[in-house]
Amino acid sequence: MSTVTTVLLAEDDTGIAEPLSRALQREGHQVITAVDGPTALQHASDADVDLLVLDLGLPGMDGLDICRRVRKQRPELPVLMLTARTDEVDFVVGLDAGADDYVGKPFRLAELMARVRALLRRTNPDALEAGGVRMELSARRVLVDGAEVGLANKEFELLRVLLQRAGQVVSRDEIHRDVWRDPERKTSKTLDMHVSWLRRKIGGRHIATVRGVGFRFNVD
């Protein structure tokens, strides 16, 4: 799973899709929008998609059919289904098709966002741990060998990216994209400075430089 959560929003009503997309982006998610069934199914097969918000009444392919096919291709992908149908039978059919949750239209945006957060919590761990370093994401707390260490915001995000792929090399471009989301910083020394500060706080042995590529969080 990518370090930035990607939500596929399959909704053909722009009056719903646009404000929902903005709300998801405000919470830090990357949003892909699909306005018909075949396009939604195509995007849903992408391993980078972390959550599918699926309208039941999409043109081109029924939402129930999309959900059934997604379940065969990606059984782990959480699906939140939207529908204007309010009959209890429709809710049951949707859940039987593989939806993890179901919201009827019209819905309150705050309630829907709460359901999105709940589904993502099921699939995204709230804590990351390797090599004696533990990150508690919702509490934004870092422990090194049991002792709490204070990190600045970008230091915390940098450590999160490295810990999520502990033992693997994470390229400089990937870190710039996920932590700063600013391509202009690719030629700056900002990343090197933050790595240096992070090493001082958690111990230099944890982060290895892979020359010409990026950095690796050591699991030993």
Q: d(Cα 115, Cα 204) in Å, to the nearest integer?
A: 40
Half-sphere exposure of 216 (CA within 13 A, CB side): 12
| 1 inside domain | no
Among 33, 35, 25, residue whose Cα is nearest residue 5: 25
* 83 & 162 share domain: no
Instruction: With 0.75 as the threshold, say if the pTM is over it.
Output: no
Same domain for 73 and 148? no
Give the chain's domain count: 2
Domain range for residue 180? Answer: 127-217
Asked whether residue 13 falls in the same domain as residue 95, the answer is yes
What is the full per-residue pLDDT of the chain (220 aa) written as tens digits? 345 689 999 999 999 999 999 999 988 889 999 999 999 999 998 878 999 999 988 999 988 999 999 988 888 899 999 987 665 556 566 677 788 888 888 888 888 988 888 888 777 667 888 889 999 888 889 999 989 999 999 999 999 989 988 888 988 888 887 788 665 555 568 899 999 999 999 999 999 999 999 999 998 7
Same domain for 190 and 148: yes
171 and 113 fall within a common domain: no
Tell me the residue length of the chain.
220
**Domain's final residue, options 69, 90, 123:** 123
Phi, psi of 124 (to 5 degrees): -110, 120
Contacts of 96 (CB under 8 A, 6+ apart): none
Domain-terminating residue out of 65, 92, 123: 123
Per-residue confidence (pLDDT) for residue 22, from 0 to 100? 93
In a domain, 61, yes or no: yes
Residue 79's pLDDT is: 94
- Residue 96 included in any domain: yes
Do 27 and 81 reside in the same domain of the chain?
A: yes
Same domain, 109 and 16: yes
Are residues 17 and 112 both part of a single domain?
yes
Q: Say how far apart CA 69 and CA 83 lie, in whole Å.
A: 18
- pLDDT value at residue 2: 41
- Residue 192 pLDDT: 92
Which residues does residue 137 pair with via DSSP β-bridges, in sequence order? none
Same domain for 80 and 107, yes or no, is yes
Task: Indicate the residue among 123, 155, 181 that finishes a domain.
Answer: 123
Domain harbouring 88, CATH code: 3.40.50.2300
Tell whether 110 is covered by a domain.
yes
Q: Is 170 helix (H, G, I), strand (E, B) or coil?
A: strand
Residue 58 located in a structural domain: yes
Give me the CATH number covering residue 198: 1.10.10.10
Q: What is the pLDDT of residue 181?
A: 67
Whether residue 45 sits in one domain with residue 100? yes
Claim to verify: residue 116 and residue 15 sit in the same structural domain: yes
What SS3 state is found at 124?
coil
Residue 16 and residue 69 in one domain:
yes
Sign of CA dihedral 135, 138, 140, 145: negative
